[in-house]
A = this chain, B = another copy of it.
Amino acid sequence: MDVGFVGLGAMGQGMARSLLRAGHRVSVWNRSPAKAEALAGEGAQAVRSPAEAARGGLAITMVADDAALEAVTSGEDGVRAGLPRGGLHLSMSTVSPATTARLAKAHAAAGQALLAAPVFGRPDAAAAAKLFVLAAGPADALERARPLLEAMGQRVFPLGDDPAHASLVKLTGNFLITTVIEALAEACALVEKGGIPPARLVEILTQSLFAAPVYQGYGKTLVEERFSPAGFALPLGAKDNRLLLQAAEAAGVPMPLASLVRDRMIAALARGWADLDWSSFGRLSREDAGLAKGPPARAGT
């Protein structure tokens, strides 16, 4: 298929490469052009605007936040201006349900469709085409996009025809990951002060009741305090937490555990950890237990 790909960050690069590997013709655009040129050397075609990327009728966006998505979608250089009638915007960024709903409406008014398809997985999963894809929007849009989604992910989970639902489930999933980080962090601090190696705790947990990738991955990260380089940076995690809490407030749902994570993340940012992985807030449990001293280690230092 002909597809435009907008947004070549750590995630987008891997996803665009997955499409190329699967034989699709991919035109790419990125705010800083160097990344697009790198992809061009691998068979993609670099174009000069999101609008141009969208001209073939199907554009994927994978950008950092709601504002960036608005910026590449709207305006005369945006995806909406470039897409023909009948075109499809495959919106894969993690954004608020409200933004997704607003853009879906604007596309519909232009005779276009929006399929929201945010993903679970970090850059390594993107590179290996092992993402989990949530997909919500018109049924025919999903069928049209399916070959692309399957080229980028290991599994696609349909979520019905309201695109905002995919955004909400994505934020909810990220929330659940943060609860694992907080829970493991508190648990590790406790056993460490009790004289038990936290690595042993994580080993036992992940070989019994908690044998899930998320406990294995973050358990290891927390025990080794390997927060740098960041797989998913703390400010982005804080952004997702903020979007979740806004959605929860709008829906009338108190989420005290999400509030707890919020305060942890702000405290971590206030310590100057914006360059670290979002899981670094878990280190605060060690600080509060009197275990951690000094700043966390940075890669290459």
A interface residues (Cβ-Cβ under 8 A, vs B)? 97, 120, 132, 134, 155, 157, 159-160, 162, 164-165, 168-169, 172-173, 175-177, 179-180, 182-184, 186-187, 189-191, 193-196, 200-201, 204-205, 207-215, 242, 244, 247-249, 251-260, 262-264, 266-267, 269-272, 285, 288-290
Our pick among B179, B186, B270 for the contact of A289 (Cβ within 8 Å) is: B270
**Cα–Cα, bound, A155→B247 (Å):** 40
Contacts of A272 in B (CB 8 A): 290
CB distance from A238 to the nearest CB of B (A): 8
Contacts of A254 in B (CB 8 A): 262-264, 266-267, 270, 285, 288-289
- Of the A-B pairs whose beta carbons lie under 8 Å apart in the complex, a sample of 5, sorted by A's number, is A120-B208, A179-B182, A211-B212, A252-B270, A263-B288
Are A257 and B260 neighbours in the complex by a CB distance under 8 Å?
yes
Query: Which chain B residue has the least Cβ–Cβ distance from A242?
Result: B249
CB distance from A34 to the nearest CB of B (A): 32
Q: How many copies does the complex hold?
A: 4
Contacts of A187 in B (CB 8 A): 172, 175-176
Contacts of A212 in B (CB 8 A): 209-212, 215
Are A176 and B205 neighbours in the complex by a CB distance under 8 Å?
yes
Are B120 and A182 neighbours in the complex by a CB distance under 8 Å?
no
Are A266 and B248 neighbours in the complex by a CB distance under 8 Å?
yes
